[in-house]
């Protein structure tokens, strides 16, 4: 069986699209087009997600502005056989205030998102199904390579310490 030869791509975004938020790409696009390429292997269970420009939870693996391919037929967390951060499965999850994309594990009815350690973000938890729903497992990523002008200046340790002080 031959692989598909075209891929739907966004041509025009909804005016309400906020690039800072993580969202379903399919909800943000008003007009689609096609280009040559293969991501989905013809699987109708795949949807696209977008990592918001303010979402740094999975930096440096998932950079802000990345597009993720999500297998929407997978609704259970598999936190088993992985040995490196690149092997650990990522999931796209809907929560009350939007979406999260990253590493998750489930403890009974509690769903925990573990951000990448280099992101300096804190873990988050929700109750399933009341506060969170697993949309699917991430199976592909389209991302930019880091460019020097896109790297936020971290400053010296002294600058970072003073930035957390309240203004007088």
Give the mean pLDDT per block of 10 residues along the chain (168 residues).
52 75 74 50 75 94 91 90 92 95 95 96 96 95 67 49 42
The pLDDT assigned to 124 comes to 97
The three-state secondary structure class of 167 is: coil
List the domain boundaries for the chain: 44-145
Whether 94 contacts 135, CB under 8 Å: yes
Per the CB < 8 A criterion, the answer to whether 122 and 113 are in contact is no
CATH class (in words) of the domain with range 44-145 = mainly beta
- The rounded distance, in Å, linking the Cα atoms of 58 and 130 is 24
What pLDDT score does 34 carry? 54
Do 49 and 34 form a contact (C-beta atoms < 8 A)?
Answer: no
User: How high is the pLDDT of residue 44?
Assistant: 66
The H or E element that residue 124 is part of is strand 124-127
């Amino acid at each position: 069986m031959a692989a598909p030869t075209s891929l739907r791509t966004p041509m025009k975004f909804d005016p309400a699209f906020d690039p800072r938020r993580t969202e379903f790409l399919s909800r943000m696009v008003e007009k689609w087009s096609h280009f040559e390429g293969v991501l989905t292997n013809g699987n109708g269970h795949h949807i696209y997600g977008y990592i918001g420009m303010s979402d740094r939870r999975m930096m440096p693996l998932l950079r802000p502005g990345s597009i993720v391919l999500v297998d929407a037929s997978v609704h259970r967390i598999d936190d088993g056989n992985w040995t490196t951060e690149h092997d650990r499965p990522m999931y796209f999850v809907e929560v009350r205030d939007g979406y999260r994309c990253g590493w998750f594990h489930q403890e009974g009815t509690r769903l925990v998102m573990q951000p990448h350690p280099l992101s300096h973000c804190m873990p988050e938890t929700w109750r399933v199904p009341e506060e969170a729903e697993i949309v699917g497992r991430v199976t592909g990523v389209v991302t930019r390579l880091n460019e020097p002008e896109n790297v936020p200046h971290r400053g010296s340790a002294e600058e970072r310490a003073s930035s957390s002080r309240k203004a007088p």
